[in-house]
């Protein structure tokens, strides 16, 4: 039962300045001394939560994806976080899952934040991405997805639970931090999964303050780590035996309702 080493980077972001954010984050990534296998950055880590994709979007062959590949190879890590990507004339809030061999997967944010008109500028994703690392299955989601439990819900599998870790990358404002913290714990409890939520700090270009409150939660909903208002780099060991012990002692998932997620008719 291999444990998993995960590092989260809670940081302020330079507003709509991709080069400055890449430089800042590179310094933070290269400063990590602890053993780590996955490094998690916030949502839209290269720009902040901007509604100017026509100005800021890159392609999958662009500088920021190339930078992620370089960082993953040099540091021998999996690097993940979301950025603004243009593809076939559409803009996506796309989470990249960059492997240490330079290969990658991606997840396009499903639930676009209409309150900030994200749905007017970006195209919603239709598929989940569940990655596999050392026998761990990891479900990768973005910010507003947290409010929609069906999208994250474990689906029935003959071989057992669908995933072991939920990762949320976010730009979640301080004014709604109570919901952020409560829902991270709820997702852990209802899915009997570790949950890793990585949020930014600081005030963005729209004068919205973010308190961080990044959080790591165990499958019982116990908070293993959280930090408010300050930048922080934190590495944790996720314990596979602890996860299995909880699921075996409290086999709640076997009683869950069966369901299917249907694609939109236009998908």
The pLDDT assigned to 189 comes to 98
Whether 168 contacts 215, CB under 8 Å: no
The pLDDT assigned to 258 comes to 83
The pLDDT assigned to 267 comes to 36
pTM: 0.96
pLDDT band at 265 (very low <50, low <70, confident <90, very high): very low
Domains in the chain and their CATH numbers?
4-255 (3.60.110.10)
Question: In the chain, what percentage of residues exceed pLDDT 70?
Answer: 97
Is residue 143 annotated as part of the catalytic site, yes or no? yes
pLDDT tens-digit profile of 39-57? 999 999 999 999 999 999 9
Is residue 74 annotated as part of the catalytic site, yes or no? no
pLDDT tens-digit profile of 169-201? 999 999 999 999 999 999 999 999 999 999 999
Candidates 18, 37, 118, 143; catalytic one: 143
Candidates 16, 18, 58, 109; catalytic one: 109
Whether 49 contacts 14, CB under 8 Å: no
Whether 219 contacts 188, CB under 8 Å: yes
pLDDT tens-digit profile of 115-166? 999 999 999 999 999 999 999 999 999 999 999 999 999 986 777 899 999 9
In this prediction, residues 21-47 reach a mean pLDDT of: 98
The pLDDT assigned to 266 comes to 42
The pLDDT assigned to 263 comes to 64
Is residue 43 annotated as part of the catalytic site, yes or no? yes
The pLDDT assigned to 34 comes to 96
The pLDDT assigned to 91 comes to 98
Reduced to 3 states, what is the DSSP secondary structure of residue 131?
Answer: strand
Candidates 37, 43, 58, 174; catalytic one: 43
Closest by alpha carbon to 196, among 208, 185, 207, 182?
Answer: 185
Beta-sheet strand order (sheet of 4-10)? 104-108, 90-98, 78-87, 38-40, 4-10, 232-238
Higher pLDDT, 221 or 257: 221
Max intra-chain CA distance, the chain: 52
The pLDDT assigned to 29 comes to 98
Question: Has residue 210 got a pLDDT over 70?
Answer: yes
Question: Has residue 241 got a pLDDT over 50?
Answer: yes
Question: Has residue 230 got a pLDDT over 50?
Answer: yes
In this prediction, residues 238-262 reach a mean pLDDT of: 92
Question: Has residue 225 got a pLDDT over 80?
Answer: yes
Looking at every residue in the chain, the average pLDDT score rounds to 96
The pLDDT assigned to 1 comes to 65
Q: Which of these ranges, 12-16, 82-86, 262-266, has the smallest mean pLDDT?
A: 262-266
């Amino acid at each position: 039962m291999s444990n998993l080493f995960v590092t989260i980077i809670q940081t302020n972001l330079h507003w709509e300045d991709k080069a400055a954010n890449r430089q800042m984050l590179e310094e933070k990534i290269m400063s990590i001394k602890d053993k780590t296998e996955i490094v998690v950055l916030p949502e839209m880590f290269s720009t902040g939560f901007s509604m100017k994709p026509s100005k800021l979007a890159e392609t999958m062959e662009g500088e920021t994806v190339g930078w992620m590949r370089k960082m993953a190879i040099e540091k021998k890590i999996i690097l993940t976080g979301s950025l603004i990507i243009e593809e076939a004339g559409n803009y996506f809030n796309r989470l990249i899952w960059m492997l240490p061999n330079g290969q990658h997967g991606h997840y396009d944010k499903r639930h676009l934040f209409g309150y900030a008109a994200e749905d007017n500028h970006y195209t919603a994703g239709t598929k989940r991405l569940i990655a596999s690392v050392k026998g761990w299955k990891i479900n990768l989601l973005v910010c507003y997805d947290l409010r929609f439990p069906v999208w994250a819900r474990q689906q029935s599998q003959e071989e057992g639970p669908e995933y072991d870790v939920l990762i949320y990358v976010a730009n979640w404002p301080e004014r709604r931090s109570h919901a952020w913290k409560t829902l991270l714990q709820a997702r852990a409890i209802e899915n009997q999964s570790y949950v890793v939520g990585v949020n930014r700090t600081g005030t963005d270009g729209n004068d919205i303050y973010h308190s961080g409150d990044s959080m790591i939660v165990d499958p019982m909903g116990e908070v293993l780590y959280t930090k408010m208002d300050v930048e922080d780099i934190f590495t944790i060991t996720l314990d596979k035996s602890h996860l299995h012990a909880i699921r075996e002692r409290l086999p709640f998932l076997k009683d869950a309702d069966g369901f299917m997620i249907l694609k939109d008719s236009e998908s």
